[in-house]
A and B are shown apart, each in its own frame.
Chain A
Amino acid sequence: MISIKSFAIRKISAFGMKYLPFADAASEAVPLSRLLRLSLFQVTVGMALVLMVGTLNRVMIVELNVPATLVGAMLALPLVFAPFRALIGFKSDTFKSALGLRRLPYIFKGTMLQFGGFAIMPFALLVLSGYGKAAQAPHWIGEVAAALAFLLVGAGVHMVQTVGLALATDLVEEDDQPKVVGLMYVSLLAGMIVSAFIYGAALETYSPLRLIQVIQGSALLTVVLNGLAMWKQEARDRVRGNAVRTTEPSFAQAWARLSERPGLMRLLAIIAFGTAGFGMADVLMEPFGGQVLQMSVAETTRLTVYLAMGTLVGFTMASRWMGRGARPIDVAIYGALIGVPAFGLIILSAHLLSIAVLIAATLAAGFGAGLFGHGTLTTTMRTAPRDQIGLSLGAWGAVQTTSAGASIAVGGFLRDRLQSGSAGAHSSSAYIPVFCLEIGLLVLALLLAFPIFGRAGRPNDAQKTAQDGFAKSNAG
């Protein structure tokens, strides 16, 4: 019996190591199981995003009859907090703690905010929609409560993701960073896909009670998963705890020190343009397929699945190439380079009315987005000074979420304007300018990235010199 059991365990673990991407992220200090556990915080982030942007977006408009403009304003609220990611990251870098903790307290606080937001959200939405006696109550109660709920969840998501990524960067060696980034992105994507299916099934027959159950279930699951994710991850550091704090640098000073680093502002600009370029496709692909190519709802849903599949392949390939020594920024540039013809193909598919071309273009766009996202985040991690990891990843998150959110809003707005302006014209005329804009943004990102493309002939030279310089400045 026992030999069969041990045989099975050995086989299964060998299977896992062979077929699971990023499995070799486990170093001596941090085994794979621990990294997988840490990546659970990305699952809760994905869950919150899908619930707010996908599920509740529809429930509020269709079932609760809340005006679409109000829904849009509510969903945009969390974006207000995105720039504060840099501040959160900075705070966690310099957190004063007798226990010597830096990241854990912020993940705890972020989790509480996420939980709190979800806990009041269903009731806030019911009041907002005038359910029961709420119709007689003043209007502002529902609006303020719903805004508060979305703000709380949004702030919690920003906090958990920023500090969680900083903790992941703390934990692993530089060589393993690409695999950890891949793991984090895949967890986010997996959380989004799985929770989208579960929310869809759970809310198929809507009732107020079911809405409360679903959202509060998410609240509980958030606390449980984040608790599992952060359990025993960050080591207590007595030296840091006992260190006499003299003069802490202010946020402005820390930011000035970080932004002086060569190439950082350029990197952030590349991230802003590239993310905006890829981001618009997220919400436009499905209506484009439906309106222009007359695809059914099932087919357009599959388009989103193709986009996600392409992105997944992009993450995997990016991890593999960087593991073999490719520079992360080069991988990101290849991603943007693939994105330009991919969006060109989408425009072409409108002329050819070919669904096959659109699917191929969608896969390619997803692949490019995967390479770009992975490459830029890994570059951010690599270039972050050891004592400013939180601030660096906060800056990455602030730029990335702001430009992703803004691009989705601008893309939807442009399409609506063009559609209403050209009544009776060809249905693709509303989409093609938006896809052209995406190409333009990607070209801008490429122009910015061109001077640093492949500059360090051999992949590891740049890092080596950077590390030497860092060691010297530490020694001196």
Chain B
Amino acid sequence: MSNDPNKVWPTGLTLSEAEEVHSYLIDGTRVFGVIALIAHILVAVSTPWLG
């Protein structure tokens, strides 16, 4: 396993493993972004801060 040519520096993960970890990060960022957007809209509806 240690001489796997697909392993990338510096984590020792293979390319597909690294891509999978990255996909969780991207998913999380998207979900949190959408949630934050909805929360801001809702707050703006009850207490408008944009005039």
Contacts and interface: CB of A to CB of B under 8 A. Distances in A.
Interface of A: 97-99, 105, 108-109, 112-113, 115-116, 119-120, 123-124, 126-127, 131-134, 137, 141-142, 145, 148, 238, 241
Q: Is the interface of B mostly helix, strand, loop or mixed?
A: helix
9 contacts: A98-B19, A112-B31, A112-B32, A116-B34, A133-B46, A133-B47, A133-B48, A141-B45, A142-B45
Given A98-B14, A108-B28, A134-B46, 6 more contacts: A108-B24, A116-B35, A133-B45, A137-B45, A142-B45, A238-B1
Nearest to A123: B42
A112 B38 CA distance: 15
Nearest to B36: A119
B51 to A, nearest CB: 12
Contacts of B35: 115-116, 119-120
A105 B21 CA distance: 10
Nearest to A131: B46
Contact of B42 (A98, A108, A113, A145): A145
Nearest to B43: A123
Given A109-B27, A119-B35, A145-B38, A98 B16 contact: yes
B8 interface: no
A112 B46 CA distance: 25
Q: Is the interface of A mostly helix, strand, loop or mixed?
A: helix
Contacts, number: 59
A112 B20 CA distance: 17
Contacts of A98: 14, 16-17, 19-20
A97 B14 CA distance: 12
B39 interface: yes
Contacts of B47: 132-133
Given A123-B46, A127-B42, A132-B47, A241 B17 contact: yes
Contacts of B17: 98-99, 241
Contacts of A109: 27
B44 to A, nearest CB: 9
Closest 4 CB pairs of A and B: A123-B42, A98-B16, A134-B46, A116-B35
Given A99-B20, A99-B21, A133-B47, A120 B28 contact: no
Contacts of B19: 98
Nearest to A98: B16
A368 B46 CA distance: 48
A241 B45 CA distance: 47
